[in-house]
Amino acid sequence: MQLFLALCFLLGIPSGAPEIHSLKHFYTASTQVPNFPEFVQVGLVDELQITHFDSNTRRKVPKHDWVNKITEQDPEYWDRSTERNLERQQTFKVNINIMKKRLNQTGGVHILQTMYGCEWDDETDEVNGNWQYGYDGEDFISLDLKTETWIAPVQQAVPTKHKWDNDKADLVYLRNYLTTDCVDWLKKYVEFGRSSLMRKDLPSVSLLQKTPSSPLTCHATGFYPDRADLFWKKDEEELHEDVVKGEILPNHDGSFQMSVDLDLSALKDEDWGRYSCVFHLAGGQEVSKRLDKRDIRTNWKTNDGGQRLFISLSFSPVSFVPF
């Protein structure tokens, strides 16, 4: 059975394993953050970004062609969603001003964030939802869907909790949205983007080094999706010291690449076999490459006068209310 599942993954054949799908919306309003829009909204399905809006472009847009299939059923969707985000931008401005007054703040950098969404198990049909706010990097208030009440982890959120707990009609609306409307949207997106959302590609992993004194780079390229990690291990334990991890970057073909550097200056020859570079893809699939001098591609001269090749890493419908 394990071999069958492995072959299904390598050949791109669905294994039939249950999936818990998610739809999440993130809103970020900020003040005095350099080179960053005052208001940003992104939507994600299964952690893949599908929509974007910001106060600079003032337009909500799809991030993938398949997301635009929604206009086949609703031709005015993007115009209507744009207008709603322009309205939400004003509400977030009001809420930031309310927060600043409650905390006796004046100027400076401040960030108000909202995340809401739902999950759906495509095997059991079980659904769940959540709605929460954060201010300046700290939890501010969140919805307890089971009790249909708001949780205030800080004193400044208590007035908001009392106000929103007393609005029974809005609580009923939020519960219906998170457990029904949101899930309906999620199912639509999963249907539209199944080929992209279910796609999983493992990368090729290489060991690269410019000179014998340079850090050793473990480079993984060609993987999809971008929900992945790359790290060094020693004796099966992940290393955190003498390691520098790079960002995940896009390739021209839609796949992704990333790298992680390891400082070899203190590494003894007899310990090389204890190290390995591990790529981990969301869902549990891994690629491991053990540290071996013979596998390193580099620019330095060899003893026979030749030159090993080093490959250069060139990279090409929800309402909000005031607090």
pLDDT, tens digit, 9 for 90 and up, residues 111-157: 999 999 999 998 899 999 999 999 999 999 999 999 999 999 999 99
Report the DSSP pairing between strands 249-250 and 204-209.
unpaired
- The runs of H, that is alpha helices, within 149-272 are 158-165, 168-176, 182-192, 194-197
CA distance 319 to 323: 13
C-alpha 212: how far from chain center: 36
- Which H or E element spans position 10? helix 2-11
CA distance 311 to 323: 54
Q: What is the pLDDT of residue 20?
A: 87
Tokens of 131: 């709605």
44-66 tens-digit pLDDT: 998 889 999 999 999 999 999 99
Q: What is the pLDDT of residue 247?
A: 95
Can you give the residue ranges of every domain in the chain?
17-197, 204-298
Q: How confident is the model at residue 321 (pLDDT cuts 50, 70, 90)?
A: low
What homologous superfamily does CATH list for 204-298?
Immunoglobulins (2.60.40.10)
Place of tokens 């009790």: 147
Least confident of 1-10, 99-108, 215-224, 237-246: 1-10
* Count of Cβ atoms closer than 10 Å to residue 185 Cβ: 19
pTM: 0.69
Q: Which CATH class is domain 17-197?
A: alpha beta
Q: Is the pLDDT of residue 314 over 60?
A: no
Closest by CA to 212, choosing from 279, 139, 263, 286, is 263
